[in-house]
Amino acid sequence: MSGHSKWANIKHKKGKADAARGQITTKIGREITIAVRMGGPDPTGNMKLKLALSKAKANNVPKDNIQRAIQKGQGAADASNYEEITYEGYGPAGVAVMVSTLTDNRNRTAADVRHVFSKYGGNMGETGCVNWMFKRKGVFSIDSEAGYTEDDLMLIALEAGAEDVKAEEEGFEIVTEPEDFDAVEKALADNNIEVMMSEIAMLPDTMAELSDEDVVKVRKMLEALEDLDDVQDVYTLSLIHCATGRLTKACLLSIIIRREHEEMLAIGIDPGTAICGFGLVEMVGNKLTPIHYGAVFTDKDMLPELRLKKIYDELSVLLDEYRPDVMSVEQLFFNRNVTTAISVGQARGVALLTAANRGIQITEFTPMQIKQAVVGYGGANKEQVTFMVQKLLNIRTKPKPDDVADALAVAICGLHTAATRRWQELK
């Protein structure tokens, strides 16, 4: 099964391998055999074989089985009878599904796949009906227990041509264009970075909004598809509707329903007309994870109204993409520089408006409250706050500009406060 999240996906595969080792080994062995038949036994020049061997490693396929599959591919005449066919269709609630198969009898395989679609309330469609919702990408999965940091991997992967490096709860996911796959793989190997799994997969770029009931239905259908002998991979949309009412990235086969008291995503805002810092921080249990942070910059030569519009537009994109549970901002205090205070107040109002338009809860805190939540001391200076932000979020490099670190601090304060309130409500 392919898709996000890779960690739970890998666990799913390994769990299924324990329960149905023979079927998993047979499928991967067949894939290796066909890959060798088509491109030779050297994985260096055979992408299909390289990916099949990676899949074998992730599923703990014995070396003897791998070797037999390679030998079979080198001399097997029957391998030429197999062909790769992708079926497309819609599952329960209209969820887009792509099914990658390797078959020596397309009539049998088509009938089997169509039966599963029908049994679980879906329907198989024409070629191309959902393909446009997915993009072909290279994916590398790296375990967090290996000791690498996001900054380490980002420096290596992006320099090698990777598209993105994503930090997840149990590791890191590096995404590349297929043509950059080899270069990124070499860079990781040159730096002795162990890869749990690598593959060329169809990653979704759209989302499906599902009820918990529909999630269960889709999950059953995908598992039934994967159990078919001829099916190699199943892809589906990566965004689903969870119990919290927010959309979260996850593979439907490895979905963890997020309960309100277990998980929360907050965006902290450090408002300003020239620089508006933002920081998205997720809390799962008592663990804090930085999701995305940065700043909106405006040119001093822009008209004031256009500067505010830019802030509104860019914050709107962030809120629509990440759907935070709460927006946290610092309360406004007037000092001697009234002009600056007015400018900050205008940017602050724009930020509040973006949240209000989307029904996002807003929390406000004094500077002392923020320092108390992050440092434990209300009189802490800016350097102390930044230092603790880095420690709490495991960020190696100091967030720049300072507005970004301040925004992350506000988000942390918002999460601690909201978590305390929810705990009190549950008592």
Residues labelled as active-site residues: 270, 330, 403
The answer to whether the beta carbons of residues 266 and 327 sit under 8 Å apart is: yes
- Write down the residue that tokens 């769990």 correspond to: 15
* Residue found by looking up tokens 């992730």 in the block: 58
Print burial letters for 392-410: b (CB count within 10 Å at least 16), e (below 16): bbebeeebebbbbbbbbbb
Give the 3-state DSSP-derived string for 281-318, with helices as H, strands as E and coil as C. Answer: EEEECCEEEEEEEEEEECCCCCCHHHHHHHHHHHHHHH
Question: What contacts 367, CB < 8 A, 6 or more positions away?
Answer: 330, 331, 333
Residue 190: exposure state from Cβ atoms within 10 A (0-12, 13-18, ≥19): exposed
Best CA proximity match to 411, nearest among 343, 357, 349, 355: 355
